[in-house]
Structure 1
Amino acid sequence: MVAARSLALFVLAAVFEIGGAWLVWQGLREHRGPLWVAAGVVALGFYGLVATFQPDGHFGRVLAAYGGVFVAGSILWGVLADGYRPDRFDLAGAAVCLAGMALIMYAPRGG
């Protein structure tokens, strides 16, 4: 149950961080305006908040593991929001990153 909660928090954090960055991108690069940028900044703040609810209390571990989720989530976001078509190397790289995330967060540790 702890791992399921942790995974759900990683997904929620990814939605806020990737979504926030995408909103800023849209606001500035696609000229959608300052409200898009402001919404992105708020979403990025929520990303930071969500990360603090991870069951593991080690900041470095949580943020390092989240990196794998971010990589895979960014590719998925690109597919859904921008029509990006990942190639096999994108997919293999995302799989490696998710495997690294799982190893960092959920490997059995003594103590």
Structure 2
Amino acid sequence: MSVLKSIPLFILAGFCEIGGGYLIWIWLKEGKSVWYGVIGGIILALYGVVATFQTQNFARVYATYGGVFIVMSLLWSMKFDNYSPDKYDIIGALIALLGVAIIYYAPRN
């Protein structure tokens, strides 16, 4: 699968995983309605479906999602929790992206 086709799937899955998890988080931690948890659970289930649209094997797909989620969780926290990443957060996220690019996109025989 080309980079241009796989990256949007990684981003969509990231929104499902982080968004669903965030809804459950605020349901349980901030006392929101149970519907936040229910909707969050449904969105988390969609994450599992979106992941199957990738063409690589399970190990590479989920390893790559891990790195993408690191970056997306920092961005999500900046938007919704007023979090300001420090230079070590940014360096770590860039290293994670480099690692997942090698895992997922390196040419293999």
* 2:17 is the alignment partner of 1:10: no
**TM-score, normalised by the number of residues in structure 1:** 0.95
Q: Is the 8 A contact 1:2 1:55 kept in 2?
A: no
Hey, what does 2:76 align to over in structure 1? Answer: 77
How far apart, CA to CA, are the structure 2 residues paired with 1:67 and 1:100? 10
Identical residues among aligned pairs (%): 46
How far apart, CA to CA, are the structure 2 residues paired with 1:9 and 1:96? 21
* 2:73 is the alignment partner of 1:60: no
Q: Is the 8 A contact 1:20 1:43 kept in 2?
A: yes
**What is the number of equivalent residue pairs in this alignment?**
109
Deviation at 1:33, TM superposition (A): 1.6
Show structure 2 runs of 5+ residues with no match.
none
Q: Within 5 A, what are the aligned runs for 1:18-57?
A: 18-56=18-56
Hey, what does 2:90 align to over in structure 1? Answer: 91
**TM-score, normalised by the number of residues in structure 2:** 0.97
Deviation at 1:65, TM superposition (A): 1.1
How far apart, CA to CA, are the structure 1 residues paired with 2:97 and 2:5? 16
- Output one character per residue of 1:10-36: Cα deviation in whole Å (capped at 9) or x when no partner: 000000000000000011101012000
Deviation at 1:98, TM superposition (A): 0.7
RMSD: 0.9
Structure 1: 4+ residue segments shifted above 3 A: none
Deviation at 1:50, TM superposition (A): 0.2
Q: Is the 8 A contact 1:61 1:104 kept in 2?
A: yes
